[in-house]
Structure 1
Amino acid sequence: MDTKNAGVVARVGAVLRAASQREPAGSTTSQVAQATGLARPTVHRLLTALLAEGLVDRTERGRWLLGPELYLLGSAAASRYDVTAVAQPYVRRLSVATGESAFFSARRGDETVCLLREDGSFPIRSHVLYEGIRFPLGVASAGLAILAYLPDADVEDLLAREDLTQAYGESHRPERIRARVEQTRRDGYATNPGLIVEGSWGMGAAVFDRAERPRWALSLTGIEQRFGAERRRRELGPLLLRAAHELGAALRQG
């Protein structure tokens, strides 16, 4: 594949990922352009071509959604990549045991993608995470948990390539992420003290594959008052780490 065609494929991938971020409400052309950094006419041309192939759909209000052909393609690939059936019981048990919202996320390149959500019994919930949302590694507790267990060289490479402050603020400057990485390594689990949405806290634990690489994460989110230091240390942290260890063992057997 020549460089020009490779660039087109990369742009199509970026457009599809951007369109997925606002499911099920859909994205405007301008929102997709802003998310990808591409010119609006370029994005509109790509989306129109993808619509013709069934890879995106368009609502009556002109918003873009992922299309039916992606569902069919995903169904064909599910037997090789879908691990949510294995993860579901662990996510549910975490939500029941803690009363908080529990999640299962997977690493995809420099991002995490939320695959599962189970809401607990506590009536006040955080809505920062939902199925399908993506965050860069180092952002949100799942991404921080995974980043912390990558080799130091990989951590530094990512921090050199990504400026997370533009989207997530000064709390995501490289030196602050490095400090959270070190704290995560000491604790064994990651803590997000309301860095994305004020008052919405999260905790995450990495789940490892057969090669002992951090490939997935389990996480919990809720309001700040439910994530005090004592509860994190005595209850939530141990529950997360135990569930992550057991889920990793189950996935490695699959």
Structure 2
Amino acid sequence: MDESPSVVRRAGALLRALAGFEPAGATTTSLAETAGVPRPTAHRLLTALAAEDLAERDGDTGHWHLGSECFLLGAAATSRHDVTPLARATVRRLAAETGESAFFSVRRGEETVCVLREDGSFPIRSHVLHEGIRFPLGVASAGLAVLALLPERERESYLATVDLAVEFGVVHERTSLAERVRVTRERGYALNPGLIVEGSWGLGAAVLDGHDVPRWAISLTGIEARIAPRQEQLGQTLLRAAHAISVQVASGRGRS
């Protein structure tokens, strides 16, 4: 039996796990656990990836990092897949206007990946999100915003099969998640009232491609004392920002 597809899947899982640990890097054990790969297999694959410059190991700490070839591959793919240039100015403006940390995330399968972060002027910041971190759809405001606007069949299939409570706690069990999806669809923006880290609130709005499919999200995070009183104001601000980027994407100035 050809094991090549399995090897590729595991190598891909390790690379995605590595991205989530940057810039600090991670041990072989941590990467194996995150990627769901046996440790001996993880070490073997990471060594093979290092031989191709797709991974590298710090000689002092023993931590693994993404290799230089990942940067080159990413740069080559930018012209086809990257809409962050469109979002960057908006993210910076949101951070400046609100004083909170602003983010841009992209959907990848059943996850969202944070690809852009801009901190506001308020000195107390949330560190739940950083560039490269991944969350399942429905976890964090960006993933909830995307999930809520997926086509109904895809959304309901996901809600019927996913089990987020094991990793993220009972507040993410299916009934509670479905209710948050319903509320998000009603008001347009997503709210995460400290469900990942107590006291750290987030708001998110989906960005649509040229076919009205949610492929990205823009979000804000901050402490409860600052976000809660301004929830509706910030939510509407995010919706306007998300709509503006969606219009740019649909008009051909971004990728659809």
- Taking structure 1 as the reference length, the TM-score comes to 0.96
2:78 is matched with 78
For the pair 1:5 / 2:9, whether they are aligned, the reply is no
Q: Deviation at 1:3?
A: 5.4
Q: Deviation at 1:159?
A: 2.9
2: distance between equivalents of 1:72 and 1:182? 41
**Structure 1 segment 178-193 matched on structure 2, within 5 A:** 178-193=178-193
**Structure 1 segment 27-106 matched on structure 2, within 5 A:** 27-60=26-59, 61-106=61-106
1:129 is matched with 129
For the pair 1:142 / 2:142, whether they are aligned, the reply is yes
Secondary structure of the corresponding residue to residue 38 of structure 1:
coil
1: distance between equivalents of 2:13 and 2:192? 27
Secondary structure of the corresponding residue to residue 3 of structure 2:
helix
**Structure 1 segment 148-187 matched on structure 2, within 5 A:** 148-187=148-187
Secondary structure of the corresponding residue to residue 227 of structure 1:
helix
2: distance between equivalents of 1:31 and 1:162? 23
1: distance between equivalents of 2:8 and 2:250? 32
Secondary structure of the corresponding residue to residue 121 of structure 1:
coil
**Residue identity in the other structure for 2:40:** P
Match of 1:238 among 218, 236, 239: 236
1:107 is matched with 107
**Residue identity in the other structure for 1:134:** R
Cα shift readout 1:110-151 (whole Å, capped 9, x = no counterpart): 010111111111111101111111111000000000000012
2: distance between equivalents of 1:113 and 1:130? 9
Alpha carbons 2:55, 2:65 under 8 Å: kept: yes
Q: Deviation at 1:25?
A: 0.8
Alpha carbons 2:145, 2:217 under 8 Å: kept: yes
Secondary structure of the corresponding residue to residue 29 of structure 2:
helix
1: distance between equivalents of 2:74 and 2:97? 32
Secondary structure of the corresponding residue to residue 191 of structure 2:
strand
2: distance between equivalents of 1:159 and 1:28? 33
Secondary structure of the corresponding residue to residue 138 of structure 1:
coil
**Residue identity in the other structure for 1:157:** S
1: distance between equivalents of 2:166 and 2:31? 17
Q: Deviation at 1:203?
A: 0.2
1: distance between equivalents of 2:140 and 2:49? 31
Alpha carbons 2:57, 2:63 under 8 Å: kept: yes
- Aligned residues between the structures: 251
Cα shift readout 1:59-92 (whole Å, capped 9, x = no counterpart): 0221110001111111111111121111111111
1: distance between equivalents of 2:87 and 2:27? 33
1:212 is matched with 212
- Taking structure 2 as the reference length, the TM-score comes to 0.95
2: distance between equivalents of 1:162 and 1:57? 33
